[in-house]
Amino acid sequence: MAQDNSSQVTEFILLGLSDTRELQLLLFTLFLLAYIMVLLGNLLIIVTVRTDPKLSSPMYFLLCNLSFIDICYTSVTTPRVLVALLSGHKAIAFGGCMAQLFFLHFVGSSEMFLLTVMAFDRYTAICRPLHYTAIMARGTCWALVAACWLGGFIHSIVQTVLMLQLPFCGPNTIHSYFCDVPPVIRLACADTALTEWLMASNSGLISLGCFLVLVASYVLILAKVRAHLSQGHWKALSTCASHVMVVALFFVPCIFTYLRPAGTLPPDKYVCAIYTTFSPMINPLIYTLRSSEVKGSMWRLWKRCRA
Q: What integer pLDDT is reported at residue 307 of this predicted model?
A: 65
Is the C-alpha dihedral spanning 185, 180, 146, 205 positive or negative?
Answer: negative
CB-count burial class (<10 Å; 0-12, 13-18, 19+) for 214: buried
Q: What integer pLDDT is reported at residue 183 of this predicted model?
A: 86
Tell me the HSE value of 252 on the side-chain side, using a 13 A CA sphere: 10
Q: What integer pLDDT is reported at residue 194 of this predicted model?
A: 81
Q: What integer pLDDT is reported at residue 77 of this predicted model?
A: 92
The CATH classification of domain 11-300, taken from the options 2.40.70.10, 1.20.1070.10, 3.30.465.10, 1.10.3720.10: 1.20.1070.10
Q: What integer pLDDT is reported at residue 65 of this predicted model?
A: 94
| d(C-alpha 162, C-alpha 184), whole Å | 12
Q: What integer pLDDT is reported at residue 21 of this predicted model?
A: 81
pLDDT tens for the chain, residues 1 to 307: 344 444 578 889 988 887 788 888 898 999 999 999 999 999 989 998 888 888 888 989 999 999 999 999 999 999 999 998 888 888 999 999 999 999 999 999 999 999 999 889 988 988 888 889 899 999 999 999 999 999 999 999 998 998 988 888 878 888 888 998 888 888 888 888 888 888 877 888 888 888 898 888 888 887 777 666 555 555 556 666 666 777 888 888 888 888 876 555 555 677 888 888 888 888 777 777 667 777 788 888 777 777 6
| d(C-alpha 255, C-alpha 159), whole Å | 16
Whole-Å CA distances, 66 to 60, 115, 174, 237, 285: 9, 8, 30, 19, 13
- 270, 176 contact by CB (below 8 A): no
- 30, 189 contact by CB (below 8 A): no
**Residues forming beta bridges with residue 92, ordered by sequence position:** 12
Q: What integer pLDDT is reported at residue 233 of this predicted model?
A: 55
pTM, whole model, 2 decimals?
Answer: 0.87
**Residues forming beta bridges with residue 93, ordered by sequence position:** 11
Q: What integer pLDDT is reported at residue 110 of this predicted model?
A: 95
Q: What integer pLDDT is reported at residue 76 of this predicted model?
A: 94
Quote the DSSP letter at residue 14: E
CB neighbour list of residue 216: distance below 8 Å, 6 or more residues apart: none
User: Domain residue spans in the chain?
Assistant: 11-300
Q: What integer pLDDT is reported at residue 254 of this predicted model?
A: 86
